[in-house]
Structure 1
Amino acid sequence: MPEFSTTIVTLFNKRTAQDQGGLLSGKDPTEVNTNDPIRLWIIQVGIIVATASFLSLGLRKIRQPKVIAEVLGGILLGPTAFGRIPGFTEHIFPQDSRPYLSLVANIGLCLFLFLVGLEIDAGVVIRNARLSASVGLAGMALPFGLGAALSYPVYKQFIPEDIAFTHFMLFAGVAFSITAFPVLCRILTELKLLDTTVGIVVLSAGVANDIVGWTLLALSVAMVNAGSGLTALWILMVCVGWTLFLLLGVKRALAWLARKTGSIENGPTMFFMTVTILLVFGSAFFTDVIGVHAIFGAFLAGIIVPREGNLAIHLTEKLEDMVSIIFLPLYFTLSGLSTDLGLLNNGITWAYTVGIVSTAFIGKFGGCTLSARFAARFSWRESGAIGSLMSCKGLVELIVLNVGLSAGILTQRVFSMFVLEALILTFATTPLVTFFYPQECRVRVAATGANFNNVSDGNEEERSSGRIPRETEAGLFKTRFTVVLDKLEHVPGMMVMAQLIQQSIPAIPTSDDNVSGSKKSLMRLKSAAPSIEALRLIELSDRTSAVMRSSAAESILLSDPLLSIFKMFGQLNDLVMSTALSIVPYDDLSQSVVDNACDSGSEMIMLPWLSSSTSNDNYLLENMTVSPRNPPNNPFEALFRTNAPTDKSAALHSQFVRGVFACAKKDVALFVDQSTPGMFIGSSHHIFLPFFGGPDDRLAVDFAAQLCENPKTTATIVRVMRRDSEVPIAPVEAAHIGEEKGAVEAHAELTIASVTNTFPDTVYGHATTETRLQSETADNIIWSRYTSPTHTSVYPSQEALKRMEFRELISPIPLHAIIAAANEEIEAVKGKRMLVLIGRSRRLAVESHSKEMKVLMDEHGHVGSEVKKTMGDVATSFILARCGSGVIVVQTAANQG
């Protein structure tokens, strides 16, 4: 017993002695300590992750997948670049520390292959087997044959004779024929090809290719590890038996456990996650001990996880961050430490490198392109895109190469040659696909019908078939709307807009034979109910689960809570409604909305303003106003305010809205919800429209007339004209204007210059005499058309005109005057929801309100600059005054007005 106590005391004393000192006592933190390697490991991880992240920032701008940055980072940290710095490798990546890096990296690799297995859905292959089978077969057979042929001269030139040629040939064939399925999914998603015929064929062919590739890799490793052919056969048979055991037995048990624990309905429970992780590493252990690499067992574990209830996606969400942030960069750095491009130092080596790159590309691209063109009957452009996508190598080939390197089949020189080939082909994938298959040539899968019952991206085919009537292009009224939903807070505001446009088209009988044909067509269209497409917008992040969600678009359309709420609202209110889904990177959100509106034939895009941003602006108005008339009690209060809002979503959302305004080819309506808790919300609406003039205001008048076709909607339209006068706004305001006139004008010019290059639609244009006269003439025409309608007017109807009141208002301070008129209107229409409808008037406007806006902000508070840039001065003034329960800001299509 004393011996045990002595041993324990000795161990603790030894541990204490090791922890003494450290950096402060002069110790080198990069010194290798095999008993306590955590210090150096943290340094290595920090350098690796920082390098990969920095490179990905630049490569993301040219739409390259993150794997390119990780591979390049590994190569730079290896002997190719940083390794040539004296002392770098000895201090940061010494040889004694690499086993610890290798252990963590291989744990991460097993988890990554488990995630790859989760991504693979065999149902995709089965559903599209007819068209994808030929592409997948050609994409495996031809590259494998060319790789096997090229392996002979490479073997004679670079591989030692103690390595069997058959082993090297098999590895070369697998490396040439495999496709990087995870990287392929991300490229398809980022290029918005998942819902095209090309994307579906490539996805299903890539799944089959991946499964066959991993099987061939397992066979290769088995042959290398076997001492004889009989042993290899036994290894292969045991591996097949284990695979069948997992697919037939364990898969059912795992599905039963998922249902029993409620993991399918509510996401994976802790117990289910524990069982799954044990299964992953248990399967990896078994395949490793029988002579096949551990990654194959982890891959099989991912395949057998149930797909019901998006369980695979939820599992991915729990594991992907640690795998992608820490484990994979570590693995690629280990590959980079074994990659020395400096070994490619003579002509014969570069000749073989060029041959490897060319042969690999020709085999994949040529085989898949020709198969898609002649067997699947795709066009040459589509076939070229399929061949380019299938030639993507990515990290899967790197895994194969690392397995070959660790097995001693590849030398460092040949390994470096193949790594360069994988890097070049992956880098070239996105540019080649963009070249072969631009946006205007894409063919998308129809929402209904059999597989590959497709429609063109263009709208001419839809117009010719009658799905989009040509009469709607006149712009007098609108029947097709796109409603954007991306957050739960947006749903109430979009419900208000949907309720507004309900029954906004009058039903006019068409039985009169004396009516002309064009008028009959107009009447028939006006008798149709408005249709709404609810567009669910989801930002595509760097996470694997986001890519998996984009692949499972059909299930998301059926189960998404936002769409479910909005669809139920539509059913209860008899709205004609359809749904759509768009999962794209943040930079493409605005363009995605515009593209979806064009594809669906929508005539107006309806956007919500995030309610949290509105409340944030109200907070700024109430609590953070600092003006000459309202100075802070404490001069440090404005700087050190502890309860200041931290929500940054307002600026991000305003950038998204401005992006839609900038590139929209359709009319756009932005709804800003200003309702407060306890405010009366009824089904009747009153529209208050200040008409200053310009194309956006003219659109607002037409839209108000259409809304008044609904019996529950009335409108007051006030034509506002500025009349210069010596009457001051108020003594204080007049003095303020006089003092800061020059500053305001200089500030306005500076603002215009600063934003013109980014958002050319968000600044006032320089109105010439010609444009001013044209705009005033158009304003007078539309005003007289509504205030003095002729008996031949077809639209708006007489009933709608009875619900519209027209006034004129002349004032030297138009914004103040129209806000006062709106407040009076609110009192007059109590019991109705008061909505302010305003033209954005930030493009082609003939008048600027910047001086009066300065006064309004001093009176009511300083609203964020993003609000003003997004909505325009008039709408911002109503938001500053908190006038009405909602503000609708409309902008006419870019080619109109």
Structure 2
Amino acid sequence: MRDFSNAVLEVIGALPKRSAPDQGGLLTGQDPTKVNTNDPLRLWIVQLGVILLISQLLSLVLRRMRQPRVISEVLGGIILGPTAFGRIPGFTKHIFPSDSRPYLNLVANIGLCLFLFLVGMEIDASMIKRHARYALTVAAAGVCIPFGIGTAISVPIYHTFIDKNVKFTQYMLFNGVSFSITAFPVLCRILTELKLLDTTVGIVVLSAGVGTDLIGWTLLALVVALVNAGSGLTALWTLLVCIGWALVLIFIIKRPLLWLARRTGSTKNGPSMLFMTVTMLLLFGSSFFTDIIGVHAIFGAFLVGIIVPREGGLTITLTEKLEDMVTIIFLPLYFALSGLSTDLTLLNSGKIWGFTIAIAALDYAGKFGACSLASRFAGFTWRESTTIGSLMSCKGLVELIVLNVALSAGILSQRVFSMFVLEALVLTFMTTPAVTLLYPPKYRKRVTATDGTSSSAPGTEGAAQRFEGFSQGREVVQKTHFTVVLDKLEHLPGMMAITQLVLPSLPPPAYTEQAPAADSSENLKASGSTAIHTAHPTVAVDAIRLIELSERTSDVMKSSVAESLSAKDPLLNIFGAFGALNGVRVNNSLAVVSFDDLGSSVTEHAERQHSQLILVPWLPPLYAGDAASQKGTEASSSAGNSSPSNSPNPASQRITQLQNPLESLFRSSAPENSNTSVLHSQFVRNLFASAKTDVALFVDRHMSEGDQLPACGTCRLFVPFFGGPDDRLALEVAVQLCANPRVSATVVRLTKHDLQLRESGSTDKADIDEQPSADGTIHHVTLFPDTVYAAPTTQTRLQSETADTIAWARYTRHDTSADPSLAAALSRVVVTEAATATPLRYIIDTARRMSQSAQAEQSRLLVLTGRSRRLAAEDYHTELKSIMEEHGNVASEVRKTVGDAATSLVISGCETSIVVLQASVSA
């Protein structure tokens, strides 16, 4: 055996050794950061990780200052360069050695071509056509005057810092281009962040920015042609060939590309694989052509982006496919290379700093002054003109691209390059605070649908009259104008159901075309449906579709074409068809805003449209075991037993999963993600806090359980009336809904007969996060203004109780001769009063009993309750705490958002839809 083994080993030893080079690794003792030309991926991954980590950390800080992402990326490169980390011994040698720069540069330039392709798709020529008068005036002034200033200051800079081997004309042209350029992509993101896209200033700046970019890229192409050419004649031929290629793309290749997009269905269903392949080949082919003729490759990519068809939102969907890879990986690499080439330690003398300050001051003064004067000449106010001038002074990444082209061409030295990079950062950083100071929200003029403008829309008159009517006993104004918030397809059934309820009862076509029989007329009069013979007030419904705005370029593009997107949005089209079938005019609109601005955008839209009631949907997520938990809850309720908090109650298990009933409002349901739940409740609370009109949050629990609407279409309302403006609004809405012959209501006025419960209060409980301060104001631990209330004084309490009495008397002791319009509605309203020590448990038991009765009658039960977060008559926190101990705890965000009454119904597992109403407060 040993001889055989030795023979085998000898054969193996005789085999030829492997000739492949050793790949190395940690196990072999090799340095993974060592440059290996045969395998550069290893070090490239290390460099990518370091760059992304630094830029993301800086972005987290600068984002709070509302600064664009490009600043953090360039600052990250500067920190990694010789200015900071480069001074650490061995850092540059191991992480960014000079031998590895070509690989980084190759990937970064590929990303730059893709980015310029995206910039080209962002440019909309129709925007310039629509606002040509203002755009051309501002763009021409913003290019010519800064170009002249840039060429003037280039004389002392050239004689002081530039190598004499560089021709003065070449540096002068580069300097002029860098002064006249405006960063259009960064400008779009700043306008979006400051919510100026739909203002007159924002539209003019975008239009002028497009024109400035086109002129700037043309000038840059001319300069690059002059630098690369050996003589002026060669430069002329290079420029003519470049212009010819642009004309070929625009007038010859553009049409076949549009045909291919339509043929492959890309304009309807997004870009197909074939269309994407052809577009990418055209992109890099154009970049290759412009590069070999002596113009930079980015111009070819930019031109291809311009000719991509805009039909069907194709550019938006195409941007969605590319932007993440470009913005997350490629662009940070490019700007990191810019930062690595920036050495601020070279600015080591007063003379150099004087030139740097002069460059920044003259650049800003030239852009700001020229664009401000041009805007003032075009008819804008001084405040608007200076805002336009500040925005057009934004430099950002476009000037950095120009500077990098000049550095690679040998025109700029590293010291001058560092001076201009610092100037670009300062001017970009100044844009947001300057615009915020010069153009606050109260001065902004927004473009309306009719291409007009309106400053700050007035408040809703109907809501103000309603509030005033309750306090003084005047006639209540019927609500005829509603704003409906849409986000998901799942919200449509519930919003259609609640919208149909709030609409006035319209007669069927047969009644309007021929006279009814005598007995039929008598029956109609007996049922109180005399309204079919009278003219109803005009009802208007405004449907607003909300899309959350992120940092993605595609979202910015959506916000700029929101009007065209609203015409093709499936949710708005479905809801519009629903309105047409019900004889109601539906005005559709679409808003692309950040998550923090979702609530304020809805309230601003409602103010502009003079809406009287905002309808907000909520569709609870479906959990396994909901039906079983409900049956267990009903069984325990009927037996009169309450399960302890530590017992394995199915309802308790269900509430453990459902930490927040608002978690599926605008994002996907994720019970385990409490952060998402908090975000949803923040939207609703922000809406409640900022709304100057009445708001109704519709909790559609029936549709969440998969139940079908009753075939008969009848609806029963249950209104628990505790007192306060929110409950008065609930009572008013219930009476208006009962104008529909298929709707009936039961209204119960609840009072506490055990005053000891009220005197004990709830501020000493750990779960109630509010404490009275020294000035008598109750402060909740939150950033929302709707949870800071003045302490109820004797005067305010008496005023609220008086308003409650007037409202209650209006609907319980109604004089039909004084107001015959309410006779039909009140005939379907049952009014009772109840005094109990546990009002919340009373409404839970009543809701369950009415729900069972409604199911037996093939009807639907709807609970209308006030949010009662302002001027509430009683304090129910102690009772709510005991209910939560019995059925399971719930996040404090829920109670703060929907109020105590709705919270008790949610956690008890009642299978009934809920409408939580908040009344408007006068300004």
Q: TM exceeds 0.5? A: yes
Measure the CA separation in 1 of the matches of 2:922 and 2:624.
34
Q: Which residue of 1 aligns with 2:453?
A: 454
> Alignment partner of 1:423: what SS?
helix
**Correspondence 1:662 to 2:689:** yes
Identity %: 57
Which residue of structure 1 aligns with residue 660 of structure 2? none
Corresponding residue to 1:628 among 646, 651, 655? 646
* CA distance in 2 between partners of 1:686 and 1:811 (Å): 23
When residues 725 and 850 of structure 1 are mapped into structure 2, their CA distance, relative to the original with a 3 A threshold, is: closer
- Show the counterpart of 1:513: none
Q: Do the aligned residues in 2 keep the contact of 1:59 with 1:69 (CA within 8 Å)?
A: yes
- Classify 1:82/1:618 alpha carbon distance in 2 versus 1 (closer, same or farther; 3 Å): farther
Query: Aligned in 2, Cα 1:831/1:301: closer, same or farther, shift over 3 Å?
Result: same
Paired residue for 1:414? 416
Taking the aligned partners of 2:122 and 2:485, their CA distance within structure 1 comes to: 28
* Cα displacement (A) at 1:287: 0.6
The residue aligned with 1:531 is 540
1:815 aligns with 2:853: no
Give CA-to-partner distance per residue, 1:454-483, whole Å, 9 cap, x none. 2333328x98xxxx8986775633222211
Code of the residue aligned with 2:843 in structure 1: it is I
Distance (Å, rounded) in 2 between the aligned partners of 1:434 and 1:479: 37
How far apart are 1:860 and its partner, in Å?
3.0
Residue 868 of structure 2 is aligned to residue 838 of structure 1:
no
Q: Distance in 2 between matches of 1:680 and 1:267?
A: 36
Task: State which of 718, 729, 738 in structure 1 corresponds to 2:748.
Answer: 718
Residue equivalent to 1:273: 276
Aligned residues: 840
CA distance in structure 2 between the partners assigned to 1:442 and 1:178 by the alignment: 26
CA contact under 8 A between 1:621 and 1:862: conserved in structure 2? Answer: no
Q: Is 1:559 aligned to residue 588 of structure 2?
A: no
Aligned partner (choices 702, 706, 709) of residue 677 of structure 1: 706
For residue 92 of structure 1, what is the aligned residue in structure 2?
A: 95
Match of 1:237 in 2: 240
The answer for the alignment partner of 2:165 in structure 1 is 162
Asked whether the equivalents of residues 681 and 833 of structure 1 are also in contact (C-alpha less than 8 Å), the reply is: yes
CA-to-aligned-CA distance 1:731-755 (integer Å, 9 cap, x gap): xxxxxx9xxx999942244466994
Q: Please give the per-residue CA displacement for 1:493-551, whole angstroms capped at 9, x wherever unaligned.
A: 22122112111799xxxxxxxxxxxxxxxxxx994232111111111111100001111
User: Is residue 139 of structure 2 the alignment partner of residue 136 of structure 1?
Assistant: yes
Q: Provide the C-alpha distance between the structure 2 equivalents of 1:607 and 1:384, rounded to a whole number of angstroms.
A: 39
Q: Which residue of 2 aligns with 1:334?
A: 337
Displacement of 1:605 in angstroms is 1.7
For 1:62-73, list aligned pairs within 5 A: 62-73=65-76
Question: Structure 2 vs 1, CA of residues 473 and 770 (structure 1 numbering), >3 Å: closer, same or farther?
Answer: closer
* Residue pair 2:504, 2:536 contacting (<8 A) in 1 also: no
Cα displacement string for residues 35-78 of structure 1 (whole angstroms, at most 9, x for unaligned residues): 11112111111111111111111211121111111111111111
Query: Is the contact made by 2:902 and 2:916 (CA closer than 8 Å) also made in structure 1?
Result: yes
Aligned to 1:423: 425
Where in structure 2 are there 5+ consecutive unaligned residues?
1-14, 470-475, 508-533, 634-642, 658-668, 772-777
Counterpart for residue 315 of structure 1:
318
Farther-moved stretch of structure 1 (690-699 vs 189-198): 189-198
1:774 Cα deviation after fit: 3.4
TM, length-normalised to structure 1: 0.88
Determine if the alignment matches structure 1 residue 747 to structure 2 residue 752: no
Distance 2:285 2:131 in 1: 33
Mapped contact 1:669–1:888 kept (Cα < 8 A) = yes
Q: Distance in 1 between matches of 2:400 and 2:631?
A: 58
Partners of 2:16 and 2:447 in 1: how far apart? 72
Q: Counterparts of 1:332 and 1:665 in 2: how far apart (Å)?
A: 45
Aligned to 2:775: none
Is residue 764–residue 848 contact of structure 1 (8 Å, CA) maintained in 2? no
* Residues 417-449 of structure 1, C-alpha deviations (whole Å, 9 max, x = no match): 11111111111112222222221212222212x
Where structure 1 has 5 or more consecutive residues not aligned to the other structure, the ranges are: 1-8, 507-524, 729-736
| CA-CA distance at 1:183 after TM superposition | 0.9
Matched residue, 1:14: 20
- Indicate if the aligned counterparts of 1:699 and 1:891 stay in contact, CA closer than 8 A: yes
Assess, with a 3 A threshold, how the Cα gap between structure 1 residues 473 and 814 changes in structure 2: closer, same or farther: closer
Q: How far, CA to CA, are the matches of 1:660 and 1:616 in structure 2?
A: 32
Distance 1:758 1:667, change over 3 A: same
Q: Secondary structure at the match of 1:324?
A: helix
Partner of 1:734: none
1:604 and 2:613 matched:
yes
Give, in whole Å, the separation in 2 of the partners of 1:412 and 1:486: 51
Tell me: CA distance 1:772–1:453, structure 2 relative to 1, closer, same or farther (3 Å).
Answer: closer
Residue-by-residue CA offset, 1:131-156 (whole Å, 9 max, x unaligned)? 21111111110111111111111111
CA contact (8 A) 1:609 1:653 kept: no
Kindly indicate whether the alpha-carbon contact (under 8 Å) linking 1:490 and 1:611 is maintained by their aligned counterparts in 2.
Answer: no
Q: Is the 8 A contact 1:305 1:312 kept in 2?
A: yes
Alignment of 1:398-547 (within 5 A): 398-448=400-450, 453-459=452-458, 474=468, 476=476, 477-503=478-504, 527-547=536-556
Residue of structure 2 equivalent to 1:732: none
* 1:220-235 mapped onto 2 (5 Å cutoff): 220-235=223-238
Aligned to 1:345, the other structure's residue is in SS state coil
* 1:23 shift after superposition: 1.9
2:849 corresponds to 1:824: yes
Aligned position for 2:530: none
State the distance in 1 between where 2:18 and 2:820 align: 91
Q: 1:577-656 residue pairs with structure 2 within 5 A? A: 577-612=586-621, 627-630=645-648, 645-646=671-672, 649-656=676-683
Verify the 8 A CA contact 1:45 1:330 in the aligned structure 2: yes
Moved more, 772-781 or 66-75: 772-781
User: How is 1:191-202 mapped onto 2 (pairs within 5 angstroms)?
Assistant: 191-202=194-205
Which string of whole-angstrom CA distances, capped at 9 and with x for unpartnered residues, describes residues 327-361 of structure 1?
Answer: 00000000000111111111111111111111111
Aligned partner of 2:6 in structure 1 is none
Q: Bigger CA drift: 778-787 or 167-176?
A: 778-787
Secondary structure class of the residue paired with 1:845? coil
Matched residue, 2:379: 377
Root mean square deviation, CA, Å: 3.0
Counterpart secondary structure, 2:583: coil
Q: Contact conserved, 1:140 with 1:177, CA < 8 A, in 2? A: yes
Partner of 2:716: 686
Write out per-residue CA displacement over residues 680-723 of structure 1, whole angstroms, 9 at most, x where no aligned residue: 33533221100111221111112212222223222111001122
Kindly provide the CA deviation profile for residues 269-308 of structure 1, in whole angstroms up to 9, marking residues without a partner as x. Answer: 1111111111111111111111100001110111111111
- Tell me whether 1:854 sits opposite 2:881 in the alignment: yes
CA contact (8 A) 1:616 1:645 kept: no
Kept in 1, the 8 Å contact 2:629–2:909? The answer is no
* SS of residue matched to 2:436: helix
5 Å-filtered alignment, 1:140-219, equals: 140-219=143-222
C-alpha spacing 1:774/1:11, structure 2 compared with 1 (3 Å) = farther
Q: Does 1:60 align with 2:78?
A: no
What does residue 512 of structure 1 align with? none
- Distance in 2 (CA, whole Å) between partners of 1:111 and 1:751 is 53
**Displacement of 1:766:** 4.7
* Aligned partners of 1:74 and 1:335 also within 8 Å: yes
**Contact preservation (8 Å) 2:479, 2:612:** yes
8 Å Cα contact 1:472/1:478 also seen in 2: no
Could you list the runs of 4 or more consecutive aligned residues of structure 1 that deviate by over 6 angstroms after TM superposition? Answer: 9-12, 613-626, 741-744
Structure 1 pair 890–23 and aligned structure 2 pair: CA distance change class (3 A): same
The correspondence for 1:778, drawn from 793, 800, 803, is 803
Alpha-carbon distance change, 332 to 423 in structure 1, aligned in 2, over 3 angstroms: same
Cα distance between partner residues in 1 of 2:576 and 2:47: 51
Q: Given the two structures, how large is their TM-score scaled by the length of structure 2?
A: 0.86
Superimposed CA distance per residue, residues 96-129 of structure 1 (whole angstroms, 9 cap, x where no aligned partner): 1111111110000000000001111111112221
Distance 2:284 2:734 in 1: 64
